[in-house]
Structure formats: C-alpha cells, structure tokens
A and B are shown apart, each in its own frame.
Chain A
Amino acid sequence: MIAPPRLAVRWLEHRLHPDERADILGDLIEQFHRRAAGNPRAARRWFWRQTLALVWGFAIRRRDVVSTTHERTRGIWLLRNAGSDWRYALRSLVAGRGATVAAFLVLALGLGLSTTVFSVINSLLLRPLDFANADRLVRLAEARPPRGPASGAPVLNPSGGEMSDVAIGQFIQTARQLDAVSPYGTTGRNVTTAAGTEQRSIAEVGTRFFDLTGITPLEGRLFQDADGRRDAPEVVAIGERFWRDELGGRRDAIGQTLTIDQKPYAIVGVVPAGFRFPEPGIEIWIAGRWTWPQPGVRRSFMMWTETFARLAPDATTESAAAEARTIAGRMAAADPAFLDGIDVPVPIFRVRRLQDDLVAPVKPALVALGAGMALVLLAAAANLLNLLLARSTARHREMAVRLTLGAGRWRVVRPLLFEQMLLAGSGAIAGGLLAWWLLRSLPAFAPAALSRLADVRLDGASLAFASMVALALALIVGLLPALQLPRANLRTLSAGGAIGRSGMPAGSFRRVLVAAQVALAVTLLVGAALLGRTLWSLSRVHPGYRGGGALTFQIGVPDGLFREPARQSAFFDDLLARLTAHPGVVAAGAASTLPLNNVGLSGSFAIEGRPKPTTPEEWPRADKIGITPGYLDALGTRLLRGRGLSLADSAAAEPVVLINEAVARQYFPGEEPLGQRIDFLRKLFRIVGVVEGIRQKSVTTPANAALYFAAAQVPPVLAFNRLTGGVALRCEHDPNDLVPFIRSTMKAIDPDWPIHNVMRLDDRLDTTFAGPRFYSIALGLFAALALATAVFGVYGVLSYTVERRQAEFGVRRALGGGEAHIIGLVVRQAAGLVVAGLIIGLGLAAAGAEVLRSLLFGVEPIDAATFITAAVFVAAIGCAAAIVPAWRALRVDPVRALRAE
C-alpha cells in the first residue's frame, strides 16, 4: 500500500486539534488510498493540495466557529488557554509557600544587589563622562625620576597625576596634537558675600577649560584667551547654585565683582548646575593668569597642577604621546643635569585617556563587585532551578498523564514557565525597589574613591538590565525541566506511585546544583573574609598618632599674607595661646602638613661632617615639616629619645630638628643621631630628639623619613602651608564640643579667616577604612545570600531523598539500625555535596582572589587561614542544614513505611 506524504501527515497532526485529528486525517488517508490505486503521483499531489486547503480553511474559518470545549483554544498557539495556566501557576506557587517565599527573597535580594552593582558599574565604569567627544579628552601627567641608575620605581610628582608649570607652558605653546591644554587646580578660598566670608570650593582653570566639554553658559560668557593675560582684569565664572543662593539669581550679577581672598574678581558668566567636569561640587571657576616659566631657568619651587587637554582633530593618544616625548627631550636639553647638589630630573610625560584615568582608581573594586554580582545571580538561578526541579519531580506523574492523554510538551511545561515568570517578575520588581533604595542610601557609606556614587541613578539601562536578567532566569529555569520530562510516558504511568524510585535524573542534577551553590558561597565568602581581614589589619596599624580626643582644622589664610615671618609667628603665637588657655585643651600646635594630607615639601638634605654625595641618589631624602612646640603632643605622637621642641627654640636660639625613626634607621644606622647636625638651607640644625614615624600619606603607607623643624626657625614657606597644614588640638573630652570655641577664637583674631576641614582625627582616619569596609560589606552581603541559597539547596535535596528512602529507613530501623546509623546515612550524603562544592569553590576563590589584590592590606590574596576558615564555616553550615532531614529520617515509622511499600 502506498503511504500518503509523511511530511503532510505530520503537519496535519501538528495543526489539528487532538480531538479531531484522528477522524479528519483518517478520512483524508482513506480517500488518498482510493485515488492512489489509479495514479499514485496524482494522489500524492492531491493529498498535499487537500492538506493545504485544510490548514488554510481551518485557519481562516475557525474564527466563525461557535465555541465548543476544544474550540475555545484560540489566539496565538503558544498562549492558548494561557489564563488557566496563569491561575495554575499562581496556585502552585501559593501551595509551596515556604519554598516560594525563599525563592522570592533570594531572587529579590539577588536582583536588587546586582541591579545596584550594574547601575554603579554602568555609570562609573562604562560611561564615566557623559558628554559628546568625552573619549577625546586626555589627562597629562609628568614623572620626574632621578637621573642615572633608577633607584626604585619612577617617582611621579606629588599626587601622581599632575604637571609642572614648566611643562604646562611648553605644552600650551608648542603641542600640535593637543587642543585646549588646560591646567586645573582646586582649592578652598575665602569668598566674601553679603552673608559674610566663607570657604568655597574654587577651581583655577586655564582659559580654554570650558572648551573641553563644549558647554554653553546659562548667563553671560565663559572664558576667553584674553582673560589669561597678566594685564587683563581677573574674572570668574560662577556656578548656577551659587548664583541663585548667594546672588539671588539676578541677571545683573554679570559684571559685578566678587571678593575672593580679599581681591576683586569680575563675574563674567554662570555655569549650569549640571556641569560636573571633572568633579562635582565646584562653586566658582577663576580664569588662571599664569606666566609659564621656561625650561632651564633656576627656581626655588615648582607649581604642580592637574592638566587636561583634548586631542586635536587628527591626533590619537599615541601621536600625542610621541609629541610629548619630543617636548620632554627639548626640556631635558635645556635643563642642567645637576644644580646645587640637587638633581634636575628628566621629565617623562604620560598622555592618558581621561575616561580610563577616572575609572582606574575604582576599577579593581568594581570588577570585584561585578564578579560578586555574577556569582550571586548564578546562585539565585541555581536556587530557582532547584525549587522548580523539586516541584516538577513531584509533578512527574501528573505530567506523564497529561502527555499520555495527548497534551503537547509545550502545554505541559508552560505552567512551570509561567510559575517562573511570576516569581522572576515579582522578584524583579522587589529587586528594582531594593536597588532604588540602596542607590539612595549607599553614598553615605561609600569610600572617597567612589564619591561619584552620589551621581548614580537607577536609569533605564539599569531597569532594562533587571528585567532582562529576570526574564532570562525565568526562561532558562522554566524551560530546563522540559528536557527532563519523562519520555516513556506509559511506562512511567504504569510504574504507579513508585516514580523516581530508581533515581530520577532530576535528582542527580539537583545535587550538582547544590554543589555549585556551595561553591559559589565559598568563593564569595573567601572574598568577603579577605576584605574583612584587610579591615582588621588596618585597624591594627599604629599610624604614629592617637585619634581619640584629637581634632585638626585648617585655616583659610589669604595668599601672600604669610610672606612676612613676623606676622606669621605672631598669628600662631596668639592663636595657640588662646586655644591652650581653654581648660579642656591639653595641647595645641600647628604644622605645615597635617596627617593624611599631601606633604608640602620633600627633598634632600645633608648631614654635617659627611662627604657630599656625588650622585643625586646618594643624597639623604626626607619630608620636611615645620611644627610648633605643642603639635606632636596634640597628635599624641611619642617622643622616643631626646627632647621635644619648646618655645625656647626661637628664631634667635640654636636651630634644632626632630627626626623620626625612619631617618634614624636609614641615615644613622648604628650611630647616635642625637647631637649631630643637619645641613639644610645653609643652616645647621642640631638633632635633639627622635620621634615615632607618622604615617603621613595614608594608613597603609609606612612612614616616610621626616624632619620636624621648629616653625620659628625656618622660612615661613616651610613653617606653614595653607593647603596642607593646619592646627591640631588634644582635648580632655569629645573634641567636637570645642568647635564653637575654636570658631569664636578665630573670629576674634580675624573675622575674614574662616576655618575648614574641622575634623576629629578619628574621623580623618575613618576615611581610610571606608573603602575596605564598603567592599567587605558588599561582598559579605553577596556571600550571605549565596550561603542562604546553598542552605536551601542542601536542605531541599536531603528532604527529598529522605522522603524517597522512607521505606529503606523503615526497614533499617526495623532491622535494628541505630539512630546514629540513620543520621550518618543522611549527613554523609550532605557531606558529599558540601565537600564537592568546597573543592570547586576554593579553586574558584584561588583563581578570583587575585582580582582583589589591590584592595587588600595586611593579607595575601591566597591566605591559607582565610581559605580554611571560610571552608570550615561553609561545611558546618551545610551539615547543619542536614539536621532537620536527618531528624525526619529518624522519625520514620518502620511499620507505616513498610505498609506503604
């Protein structure tokens, strides 16, 4: 007998409703056979024509059909009868309450945290500058390594990203590959308005600065080249907020003068509030009027400034870097190699894309957080999958029945998928809300490097991310069980209640999932623990000063005032005398550099009686800090040997100096430094004391060699620096109580000199901890979440096996198996899962810990103790999760279990 075209038959089988499939197809095949007896080929053609006509006819006419039970199934075939499936999904979610809530919580937390991290990464890492041509901007930086054989890594200038005034001048005048070369320096300065004098954030910028971003002013104009000339009137642009708050937002503010440090500046324009390049918070921009020194001219000090530029239309960072090398060569040729015993290093320039530069400091942290986010999402997905597999296993019988009765695979799987979509959807909404809340409250805890966190908003991209991830999770997790549907429907059915007895594939897959969850939890926990160790190590560092009860503040002294030594010392004598007169003050002193500020002055010195070194590298080097007698007492820095400074060390007395441990160790090994003299600034300073090292730059950087001079015995520029220096106080009680007293004292001396950065030393120190604390809390949260999913996982799998092995446990109990024996059986299974997870997790952690290296302090990325502790902790928790199922296994009643069999 000739068979009808198979493809056509299959097609019809697929298209026709199961109820009518048999008779319609049967009729068609019957007629086909009659025709095929005459002309088989014509019959086949006829069959195809009829098939097409049927499919077409049903497709267009079905619409006219009055609904019958099966004909109500209209709409897109994928979603036929969707309503009932949604209800079904909802019902089964409600039925499995505990598991549903657990899955929802994990999902909401996972999506919330990862959406937060995504928002942060997206705005800080992927697009840190959001204006046109932002990728053409570069930062110029200059390094000045010593000439001759390098002694260690090339040392950049004071803060690592700045240019010397000589170099800036060369670039502005000769660089062809760069446009709008703009120095940029920020300071706090005293601005006098109708409301009084206040310290304001001010940027002094090159006249082409605003060209970098191409913004237009809200009112008036921005800077022109003419504004930078020495003979031009000094002009400023003011920020929109300052304009509205302080000048009432009046248009006639343009052209008015503003008094900054008691000098008049003409206001030429208003900068819109959205302008936050390269940092937010600047209130006033001064058009800098610099004269750039030429190379080869001897000067006592160099000015260092951040410098930005834009690549010229045809230039690349490479061509700009090549040009910078040419400029460096020219400068080196003009400079003498060695001047007065102080080397003049050859400059090296770095041209770096500004976007990369802004991202660099936060990149390791964000990469670590991003990796943590990915791991948590994986754990959440595994958790969902686990829940679903547990449920679909329980439903295998029902599914088998439906499949056998002719339901399509899609129809059987769809309720499961809908269930996942409901879960993922509600999880995404809750996660979105969580992310929104986190982004609002995070900036308060964020470390300084992440200060731009305040700018991060939950935007369209973040929401799109959350919904995409949720949808992907739902699809993957919902469709996976389709692969696990029983194939041999009838056999499964006839096996009756004993489905799964022989160990369903779902069971082993779930075990793999749980091991993966354990692995993720260990990985994250190791990361969090490493950061926690960092925090602990930091808290144990002795920075060389004692925080409790100490307070520091800076003084907004106008430029140029302290050029007169007499006036400067008179001012500090007066101020410190008034402060120490307060009964609550134990000690007070001023210094040219406060702890955790950049060091103002650093360089070489000579030791009396030793031959002058012939190469620059051999010269002793140290930070040089001018202090008043009470300063070290106020900080709580200990005097190790000799004596401290006193008021007797006046300008007229013998010049003296204190050295720190580092100087004693490096330059006086095995010698008595006390009594020796240091040759500096053509004077000889006698060493009278050795003090402990102060970690000046940061808590994590060991103390540099440092010399402490008596302020009264050195030039004013060394005795005090208004940018880095300030006053330290030590009090008997909470130093914050003294702030009003300090303010009134300052006002009594001069109402136009405001104080700023008033901070307890403890709070200053705390900024160091903010970073590690933030990262360890973030990773800790991730780890906790992953651990929770692992616990759910272990618990779920064991409960399931205990249920399946009830009969076995019953028999074992009946045959006299002891409690320990039964518990051992269950816990051993848990241990297997956990150990497998631990091995993978520790491997993952070892591979990933390197990412954290730059965030760690006092602990190596591969730290055995941390790894072992995390592993033991996870193992304990994993086995604890086995207790409830084990207890249940004990309670199995042998008689009932056997009867059920």
Chain B
Amino acid sequence: MPHTGRGDIEHFVLVALLRLGGESYGVPILEEISARTGREVSRAAVYIALRRLESKGLVASRMGEASAERGGRAKRYFRLTRTGAAQLEETRRAFERMWADVEHLAKKAAR
C-alpha cells in the first residue's frame, strides 16, 4: 500500500467533505475516503487532519446530537469553511494546470 502523506490526507478529507455536501461527521468522511481511494486510511490520521484543518481555518466544527447507536456519544460535525472551499478550488486548479497534457506521460512512466 502506498504511503499516504499528511498533505494527501488533508486533501482527501477536504474533497470528501465537499462530496458529502459541505458538512458531515467522522463516519461518512472515513467511509467516503475508503470507498473512493479503495483502501483503508488510518483513522487517527483522518482525525488529526481534521483538527489541523480546523486550526488552519479551512474546516469548522460543531458538536451534534448523541444517539444510542453511538453509545450515547455526540457527533462532531465538520463543515467546509469559505476559506476551505476557496483553497480547495485553488488547489484543484493548480493540480489541473500541473497535469495539463502530461497525463499520458504519467501512465507511461508508471507502466
């Protein structure tokens, strides 16, 4: 399994939040990332990434409702902030610019 760096995880988390409609909590985020990347990501890494993103102001959180299913424990909802969304868009564009016209080269190099 390839190593997933810190930057990658944060990127995954942001995109997952975007896919989940801008706001969600731990379980859907974890599942979204696993489903899309096709591999199990480190649970701790995801939570740490969420905290880091929060401290950078890219994500905001609030405590939600508790349920019996969760052993009586509350959910923490994370929401993509405006800055977060803007930075995500900026990153996407940067990636696109970087990738323009070289996708076939990458596939060839990987082969």
Residues in A lying within 8 Å of B, measured CB to CB: 1, 3-4, 9, 20, 22-31, 33, 50, 53-54, 56-58, 61-62, 64-68, 71
Interchain CA distance A9-B73 in the complex, whole Å = 12
Q: A31-B27, A50-B43, A68-B55 are in contact. Are A26 and B71 (CB under 8 A)?
A: yes
Q: Is the CB of B42 within 8 A of A53?
A: yes
> B51 — which chain A residues lie within 8 A by C-beta?
20, 65, 68, 71
Residue of chain B at shortest CB distance from A9: B71
> B63 — which chain A residues lie within 8 A by C-beta?
22-23
Q: Nearest Cβ distance between residue B28 and chain A, in whole angstroms?
A: 9
Q: Is the CB of A30 within 8 A of B69?
A: yes
Q: Is the CB of B75 within 8 A of A26?
A: yes
Q: Is the CB of B45 within 8 A of A57?
A: yes
Q: Select B25's contact among A3, A27, A29, A65, beta carbons within 8 Å.
A: A27
Q: Select A22's contact among B6, B27, B74, beta carbons within 8 Å.
A: B74
Chain B interface category by residue count:
20 to 34
| Apart from A54-B43, A57-B48, 16 more pairs, CB < 8 Å | A1-B69, A9-B71, A26-B26, A27-B25, A27-B26, A50-B43, A53-B43, A56-B44, A57-B45, A58-B44, A58-B47, A58-B48, A65-B52, A66-B56, A67-B55, A68-B51
Interchain CA distance A170-B109 in the complex, whole Å = 106
Q: Residues 27-64 of chain B: 1 if any A CB is under 8 Å from the residue's CB, otherwise 0? A: 10010000000000011110110011011100000010
Interchain CA distance A643-B43 in the complex, whole Å = 114
Q: Is the CB of B69 within 8 A of A23?
A: no
Q: Is the CB of B55 within 8 A of A66?
A: yes
Q: Is the CB of B69 within 8 A of A27?
A: no
Residues in B lying within 8 Å of A, measured CB to CB: 6, 25-27, 30, 42-45, 47-48, 51-52, 54-56, 63, 66-71, 73-76
Q: Nearest Cβ distance between residue B47 and chain A, in whole angstroms?
A: 6
Greatest chain B CB density within 10 A among A23, A30, A54, A71 is at: A23
Residue of chain B at shortest CB distance from A3: B71
Q: Is the CB of B44 within 8 A of A57?
A: yes
Q: Nearest Cβ distance between residue B69 and chain A, in whole angstroms?
A: 5
> B74 — which chain A residues lie within 8 A by C-beta?
22-23, 26
In the assembled complex, 12 residue pairs joining A and B whose CB atoms fall closer than 8 Å, in A order, are A1-B68, A20-B47, A22-B74, A23-B25, A23-B26, A23-B73, A23-B74, A29-B73, A56-B44, A62-B48, A64-B6, A65-B52
Q: Is the CB of A22 within 8 A of B69?
A: no
Q: Is the CB of B73 within 8 A of A25?
A: yes
Q: Is the CB of B52 within 8 A of A53?
A: no
Main secondary structure of the interface of A (DSSP, over half): helix
In the A-B complex, list the 7 residue pairs whose CB atoms are closest, starting with the nearest.
Answer: A57-B44, A26-B73, A23-B76, A27-B26, A26-B70, A29-B71, A22-B73
> B68 — which chain A residues lie within 8 A by C-beta?
1
Q: Is the CB of B47 within 8 A of A24?
A: yes
Q: Nearest Cβ distance between residue B29 and chain A, in whole angstroms?
A: 9
Q: Is the CB of A30 within 8 A of B47?
A: no
Q: Nearest Cβ distance between residue B46 and chain A, in whole angstroms?
A: 9
Q: Nearest Cβ distance between residue A7 and chain B, in whole angstroms?
A: 14
> B27 — which chain A residues lie within 8 A by C-beta?
27, 30-31
> B56 — which chain A residues lie within 8 A by C-beta?
66
Q: Nearest Cβ distance between residue B88 and chain A, in whole angstroms?
A: 19
> A3 — which chain B residues lie within 8 A by C-beta?
71
> A28 — which chain B residues lie within 8 A by C-beta?
43
Q: Nearest Cβ distance between residue A720 and chain B, in whole angstroms?
A: 99
Q: Nearest Cβ distance between residue B44 and chain A, in whole angstroms?
A: 2
Interchain CA distance A23-B76 in the complex, whole Å = 5
Interchain CA distance A26-B30 in the complex, whole Å = 13
Q: Is the CB of B48 within 8 A of A65?
A: yes
Q: Is the CB of B71 within 8 A of A4?
A: yes
Q: Nearest Cβ distance between residue A59 and chain B, in whole angstroms?
A: 9
Interchain CA distance A888-B69 in the complex, whole Å = 60
Interchain CA distance A50-B67 in the complex, whole Å = 21
Residue of chain B at shortest CB distance from A62: B48
Q: Nearest Cβ distance between residue A269 and chain B, in whole angstroms?
A: 77
Greatest chain B CB density within 10 A among A20, A26, A33, A71 is at: A26
Q: Nearest Cβ distance between residue A193 and chain B, in whole angstroms?
A: 86
Q: A22-B74, A29-B70, A29-B71 are in contact. Are A61 and B45 (CB under 8 A)?
A: yes
Q: Is the CB of A64 within 8 A of B48?
A: yes
Q: Nearest Cβ distance between residue A16 and chain B, in whole angstroms?
A: 10
Q: Select B69's contact among A33, A62, A66, beta carbons within 8 Å.
A: A33
Q: Is the CB of A57 within 8 A of B42?
A: yes
> A25 — which chain B residues lie within 8 A by C-beta?
71, 73
Q: Is the CB of A24 within 8 A of B48?
A: no
Q: Nearest Cβ distance between residue B92 and chain A, in whole angstroms?
A: 23
> A67 — which chain B residues lie within 8 A by C-beta?
55
> B75 — which chain A residues lie within 8 A by C-beta?
23, 26-27
Interchain CA distance A517-B26 in the complex, whole Å = 59
Q: Nearest Cβ distance between residue A793 and chain B, in whole angstroms?
A: 48
> B73 — which chain A residues lie within 8 A by C-beta?
22-23, 25-26, 29
> A9 — which chain B residues lie within 8 A by C-beta?
71
Q: A4-B71, A30-B70 are in contact. Are A66 and B52 (CB under 8 A)?
A: yes
Greatest chain B CB density within 10 A among A30, A65, A66 is at: A30
Q: Nearest Cβ distance between residue B108 and chain A, in whole angstroms?
A: 34
Q: Nearest Cβ distance between residue B62 and chain A, in whole angstroms?
A: 11
> B47 — which chain A residues lie within 8 A by C-beta?
20, 24, 58
Q: Select B44's contact among A23, A33, A53, A71, beta carbons within 8 Å.
A: A53
Q: Nearest Cβ distance between residue B80 and chain A, in whole angstroms?
A: 17
> A56 — which chain B residues lie within 8 A by C-beta?
44
Residue of chain A at shortest CB distance from B31: A31
Q: Is the CB of A61 within 8 A of B48?
A: yes
Q: A27-B27, A27-B30 are in contact. Are A61 and B52 (CB under 8 A)?
A: no
> A66 — which chain B residues lie within 8 A by C-beta?
52, 55-56
Q: Nearest Cβ distance between residue A322 and chain B, in whole angstroms?
A: 77
Interchain CA distance A177-B42 in the complex, whole Å = 78
Q: A53-B42, A57-B43, A61-B48 are in contact. Are A24 and B26 (CB under 8 A)?
A: yes
> A27 — which chain B residues lie within 8 A by C-beta?
25-27, 30, 70, 75
Interchain CA distance A31-B27 in the complex, whole Å = 7
Q: Nearest Cβ distance between residue A33 and chain B, in whole angstroms?
A: 5
Q: Is the CB of A26 within 8 A of B66?
A: yes
Greatest chain B CB density within 10 A among A4, A9, A22, A65 is at: A22
> A4 — which chain B residues lie within 8 A by C-beta?
71
> A71 — which chain B residues lie within 8 A by C-beta?
51
Q: Nearest Cβ distance between residue A15 and chain B, in whole angstroms?
A: 11
> B48 — which chain A residues lie within 8 A by C-beta?
57-58, 61-62, 64-65
Greatest chain A CB density within 10 A among B52, B55, B63, B71 is at: B71
> B44 — which chain A residues lie within 8 A by C-beta?
53-54, 56-58, 61
Residue of chain B at shortest CB distance from A29: B71
> A29 — which chain B residues lie within 8 A by C-beta?
69-71, 73
> A20 — which chain B residues lie within 8 A by C-beta?
47, 51, 76
Residue of chain A at shortest CB distance from B40: A53
Residue of chain B at shortest CB distance from A28: B43
Greatest chain A CB density within 10 A among B44, B54, B68, B75 is at: B44
Q: A29-B70, A53-B42 are in contact. Are A22 and B76 (CB under 8 A)?
A: yes
Residue of chain B at shortest CB distance from A55: B44
Interchain CA distance A54-B70 in the complex, whole Å = 17
> B25 — which chain A residues lie within 8 A by C-beta?
23, 27
Residue of chain B at shortest CB distance from A4: B71
Residue of chain A at shortest CB distance from B29: A27
> B54 — which chain A residues lie within 8 A by C-beta?
68
Interchain CA distance A3-B72 in the complex, whole Å = 12
> A65 — which chain B residues lie within 8 A by C-beta?
48, 51-52
Interchain CA distance A740-B54 in the complex, whole Å = 95
Interchain CA distance A131-B6 in the complex, whole Å = 66
Greatest chain A CB density within 10 A among B43, B45, B66 is at: B43
Interchain CA distance A27-B31 in the complex, whole Å = 11
